Amino acid sequence: MANLIQIGVTDPPAPRPESIAVPEVEKGVACDFDSYLLSPDRSYDEQIARAKERLGRRVVILGHHYQRDEVVKFADFRGDSLKLSQQASDTEADYIVFCGVHFMAESADILRQPHQVVVLPDLSAGCSMADMAEIGQVETCWEELAAAGIDTGRVVPVTYMNSAAAIKAFTGRHGGAVCTSSNAGKVMRWALARGERVLFLPDEHLGRNTAWQMGIELDRMAVWDPAQELGGNDEQALRRAQVILWKGYCSVHQRFQPEHVDGMRRRHPGIRVIVHPECRLEVVQKADLSGSTEKIIDVVEAAAPGTTWAIGTEIHLVNRLAQEHPEQKILSLDPHVCVCTTMFRIGPEHLAWTLENLAEDRVVNRIQVDDQTRRWARTALERMLELR
C-alpha cells in the first residue's frame, strides 16, 4: 500500500451548497463558471474528456507536477517549469491550456507563436514568491546599486522563472536571462562569465544554494531586502558581493527545517533525503540530493525497490510518487506540510469550463502579455532555452 500523507489545505475551495437546487448544465456547456460550481458533486472526467476530444489537436494541456491528480491526469505534457516552457515553445496547437500558476502561463504566452492563445483555467492561481519582486522595487535596486558605486553594466540579472513578465523583461533588457530550478547553475555560470556579479531574483534560497554549489563563499553573497535602503547592506558588502540575492521565498519550501532531516534520519536509518532547491541552505546541506520536481521524479524512479525516501517539496507530488512507487517507502520530509494553495486552485471544474468554452470557440481566462514587455522577456527566456 502506498503511504498517503494527510494534507493540510489552508485555503480550501468553498463547499458546494447542498440545499440549492442544481440547474442542469445545458449540454455540458456554459460560459459562466458559477454554474459549474453548482453542479452536483460528481466527476468532471467525462465532460473534460468529451471537450478535449472535440478540440482534438487544436488544444494542448500542459500540467505542472504540483497539480492535483484529477487535473494533471488530463495533461498532454507533464513537467517541471523548464520542460513545460520548452513544450510551450514547441507546440503547434491553437490553444495552450496551462494547468499551473500565472507566471508559467505568462511565460507560455511570451514564447507562443502569433496564432496561439494561452489560457489559465483559474486566474487566481498566482505565486506569492513571484509577487515578492515588483518591477518598481527592482528598478530602485538597480539605481541604488549604481549610486553605491557598483558598475551596473557589469551586473547580470538572472530571474527565476517564478517571476512576473515585467521582471523577465527587465532581465532581458539588462543582458540577463531566466533560469529554472533545473538549470540555475548553468545560467549563473553563464551570467558570471558575462559580468562581474549576478543580481538573482526573486528567490534568495535558490540563488544561495546555486552559488554555494558552484563554490562561491557565503561572504561573497549579499541579500537585498527591497523594504530597506540599499537593500539593508552597506556599500562595502555590496562591492564584495559576487551574487546579490533578492529577499524572496517560497512559503511551502521554507517550512522544511534541518531538524526534519535529523528526525527522519534518526527514525529511519538509511533513509535518502531529496529536497527542492527552494529550501533553505541548511536543509539542502543536510539532504543527500536536491533538484527540480523533474529531477526528484527521475531520482526516485531510478532507485532500487525498498529505498526509503524523505522528500522536501509540495505534497501533491510527494503523494503521487508514493502512489506510483509502492515498491519504495516515500515520506514527506515534514509530515504536516501544507499544499501550495495557489497550485491547488485549478480544479477539474475549471478545466471542464475552460475546455467546453474553447470547444465552442469562446476563449476564457486568456493570459496576454503586452508587446513591449514580451519583447525583452522573450529575449531573457530565449537566452535560457539556448543554454539547454
**183: contact with ligand 13P by CB under 6 A:** no
Beta bridge partners of 311: 274, 332
Query: 188, 388 in Cβ contact below 8 A?
Result: no
267 contact partners, CB below 8 Å, separation of at least 6 = none
Cα–Cα distance measured from residue 82 to residue 23, given in angstroms and rounded to the nearest whole number: 42
**39: contact with ligand 13P by CB under 6 A:** no
Q: How far is the CB of 41 from ligand 13P (least distance, A)?
A: 30
Give the x-and-dash track for 324-363 against ligand 13P (CB under 6 A). ----------------------------------------
C-alpha cell at 330: 516515500
b/e string for 257-290 if b means 16 or more Cβ within 10 A?
A: bbebbeebeeeeeebbbbbbbbbbbebbebbeeb
Q: Which is nearer to ligand 13P, 314 or 349 (CB)?
A: 314
Region from 42-50, 145-153, 180-188, 256-264 binding ligand 13P, contact rule CB under 6 A: 180-188
Q: How far is the CB of 202 from ligand 13P (least distance, A)?
A: 12
**308: contact with ligand 13P by CB under 6 A:** no
**293: contact with ligand 13P by CB under 6 A:** yes
Question: What does the DSSP 8-state code read for residue 291?
Answer: -
Cα–Cα distance measured from residue 359 to residue 72, given in angstroms and rounded to the nearest whole number: 20
Q: Which is nearer to ligand 13P, 36 or 103 (CB)?
A: 103
Region from 176-184, 191-199, 357-365, 376-384 binding ligand 13P, contact rule CB under 6 A: 176-184
* Binds ligand 13P by CB under 6 A, chosen from 91, 107, 180, 379: 180
**250: contact with ligand 13P by CB under 6 A:** yes
Place of cell 507530488: 317
Residue type, 111: L
**210: contact with ligand 13P by CB under 6 A:** no
Question: What does the DSSP 8-state code read for residue 137?
Answer: H
Q: Which helix (H) or strand (E) holds 118?
A: strand 117-119
**278: contact with ligand 13P by CB under 6 A:** yes
Residue type, 386: E
Look at residue 166 and give its three-state secondary structure. helix
Q: Which is nearer to ligand 13P, 65 or 208 (CB)?
A: 65
Q: How far is the CB of 81 from ligand 13P (least distance, A)?
A: 3
Look at residue 198 and give its three-state secondary structure. strand
* Binds ligand 13P by CB under 6 A, chosen from 47, 162, 183, 308: 162
Cα–Cα distance measured from residue 175 to residue 64, given in angstroms and rounded to the nearest whole number: 29
Output Rg (C-alpha) for the chain, integer angstroms.
22
Question: How many residues comprise the chain?
Answer: 388
**319: contact with ligand 13P by CB under 6 A:** no
Give the total of residues touching ligand 13P (CB under 6 A): 11
Q: Which is nearer to ligand 13P, 91 or 181 (CB)?
A: 181
Look at residue 249 and give its three-state secondary structure. coil
**292: contact with ligand 13P by CB under 6 A:** yes
Q: How far is the CB of 385 from ligand 13P (least distance, A)?
A: 14
**Contact set with ligand 13P (CB under 6 A):** 65, 80-81, 162, 180-182, 250, 278, 292-293
